[in-house]
């Protein structure tokens, strides 16, 4: 099987609920999760933690792959990365289904590195990404009837 890695997500999100940023009504935002650097990632994590302070239902931090609040803030980071005049606090005013769309951008960022698409033949032959087994095949005995 040949393994194909999906490309980082980038595009434009059209807001169903426009927000005001710097005195302008914003109806769409561009984003590029490939532009999230270490500072933006750390800022997203910090903002997520600050938003959760005082919530009683958050006792154990979930794995990052399942942390929907982190995904939201990583979506914000993907927007801030290509819109430096925007701030996380501007984007926190996003509401309604637009929140889910931004969270999806962040979720895709988290899952993109581990998500692979399988294509190609099913021959079982080793490929560049599938090393040949060093363990000998187990011998089985079949009785003929």
Domain ranges within the chain, ordered by starting residue: 2-119
**SS percent in the chain: helix, strand, coil, step 5:** 40, 20, 40
Query: What is the band of 18 on the pLDDT scale with cuts at 50, 70, 90?
Result: very high
Report pLDDT for 63: 75
Residues of the chain above pLDDT 70, percent: 66
Q: What is the DSSP letter of 114?
A: T
Arithmetic mean of pLDDT, 85-112: 95
Chain segment 38-88, per-residue pLDDT in tens: 999 999 999 988 887 766 555 556 677 777 899 999 999 999 999 999 999
């Amino acid at each position: 099987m040949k393994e194909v890695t999906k490309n980082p997500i980038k595009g434009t999100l059209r807001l169903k609920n426009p927000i005001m940023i710097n005195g302008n009504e914003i109806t769409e935002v561009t984003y590029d999760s490939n532009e999230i650097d270490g500072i933006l990632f750390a800022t997203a994590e910090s903002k997520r933690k600050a938003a959760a302070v005082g919530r009683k239902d958050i006792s154990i931090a979930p794995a990052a792959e399942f942390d929907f609040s982190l995904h939201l803030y990583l979506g914000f980071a993907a927007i801030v990365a290509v819109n430096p005049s925007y701030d996380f606090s501007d984007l926190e005013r996003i509401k309604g289904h637009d929140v889910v769309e931004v969270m999806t951008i962040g979720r895709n960022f988290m899952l993109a590195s581990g998500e692979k698409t399988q294509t190609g033949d099913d021959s079982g032959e080793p490929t560049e990404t599938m090393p040949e087994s060093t363990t000998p095949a187990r011998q089985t005995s079949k009785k003929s009837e």
